[in-house]
Amino acid sequence: MCNFAEGVDGKPPLLTHDDVITLFHESGHGLHHMLTRVNERDVSGISGVEWDAVELPSQFMENFCWEWGVLKHMTAHVDTGEPLPRKLFDKMLAAKNFQSGLATLRQIEFALFDMLLHSEHDPAADFMPLLQQVRDEVSVLHPPAFNRMAHTFSHIFAGGYAAGYYSYKWAEVLSADAYAAFEETAGQDGMPSVQTGRKYRQAILEVWGSRPAIESFKAFRGREPTLDALLRHQGMA
């Protein structure tokens, strides 16, 4: 389900680029369910996949929304029908990676705080010194002393991510590395390799939940995951 806006003044509904990313993201989850070949419900499709890997198929699909070869065929001006100009696409790509390093450090700060809170911290003690300890280690821009982000960190207190917030960033590592396989095997026209797509379907989408996710990833890539693709996609390498 995607909560897209309705059309205005008799015009058709229009999707922002963020809407398209959401559509592709959720389609990745849909493919995960539809292409499973596991008959046991509890480990079929998304079910039974480890929390830190279940977003791989969805985040993987988001990459296509940043490919010129894809967008130029699926965009059109509502009045003129002209496709997205290449210059505008290049500006979007540059904006996508603006301050991506700081955004990454923010996620690392939250993930480390969550891990330490659930592994080494005394529940009876104040957790603000722990948060400051993490910030001293990884943060570039420190918030003011009165900041109380941890008091409203609902992801780990009410959202099911307790001791697992790191999964956001780890899933990005897996999805970027998986997408890199398609970049490495694309044809001269930039089109994805059918063989790589088949391998991705068979090694990941068809079986996840029936075996550890890392085994599925290694069956697809033939190795352990690396950070290289994520750093490159986010403009940091």
Give domain status of residue 210, yes or no: yes
Q: Give yes or no for a contact between 112 and 154, defined as CB atoms under 8 angstroms apart.
A: no
**Residue 99 falls within a domain, yes or no?**
yes
Residue 74 CB: number of other CB atoms within 10 A? 12
- Residue 2 covered by a domain: no
> Is the pLDDT at 187 greater than 70, yes or no?
yes
In a domain, 216, yes or no: yes
* Percentage, residues of the chain above pLDDT 70: 100
Report the domain count for the chain: 1
| pLDDT band at residue 1 under the 50/70/90 scheme | low
Residue 6, domain member (yes or no) = no
* pLDDT value at residue 22: 93
What SS3 state is found at 210? coil
Q: What CATH number is given to the structural domain containing 111?
A: 1.10.1370.40
Residue 3 domain flag: no
Closest CA relative to residue 23, chosen from 58, 53, 74: 58
Domain containing 207 equals 14-237
H helical segments located in the chain: 17-34, 56-62, 68-74, 86-96, 100-119, 128-138, 154-157, 167-185, 194-200, 213-221, 228-233
Q: CA 206, CA 172: separation in Å to the nearest integer?
A: 20
pLDDT band at 191 (very low <50, low <70, confident <90, very high): confident
pLDDT in tens, 18-54: 999 999 999 999 999 999 999 999 999 999 999 899 9
Active site residue 137: no
Q: Is residue 116 part of a domain?
A: yes
Specify the pLDDT at position 8: 86
26, 50, 67, 109: the active-site residue: 26
Our CA dihedral for 52, 237, 225, 29, rounded to 10 degrees, sits at: 40
62-101 pLDDT, tens digit each? 999 999 988 989 999 988 999 999 999 999 988 999 999 9
Asked, for residue 4, whether it belongs to a domain, the answer is no
